[in-house]
Amino acid sequence: MDQVDSRWRKASYSGNGGADCVETGSVPGAVLIRDTKDRERGPVLRVNPEAWRVFTAGIKGQNYAL
């Protein structure tokens, strides 16, 4: 995967002192997701912003339709 310059944010609901969480970042047209424990070499998921909105609405218990 290409190296990207992104501003990463850690989830506010992190367990284990912040070690058990994910971080998100963004680039034009995509939301990036990675594991906090392996920032340097771990995989980075890339999803479109609409899919991210649906996902986060679902975990918040909101109804959101495509």
Q: How many domains does the chain have?
A: 1
Domain encompassing residue 55: 9-59
Which of 65, 61, 6, 17 has its CA nearest to residue 39?
6
- In a domain? residue 38: yes
Residue 4 clears pLDDT 70, i.e. is over it: no
Q: Residue 56 in contact with residue 49, Cβ under 8 Å? A: no
What is the pTM assigned to this prediction?
0.71
- In a domain? residue 2: no
- In a domain? residue 4: no
Q: What is the pLDDT of residue 1?
A: 43
Which of 51, 26, 55 has its CA nearest to residue 34?
26
| Cα separation, 19 vs 22, whole angstroms | 9
- In a domain? residue 3: no
Sheet holding 22-27, edge to edge: 9-10, 22-27, 30-35, 44-47
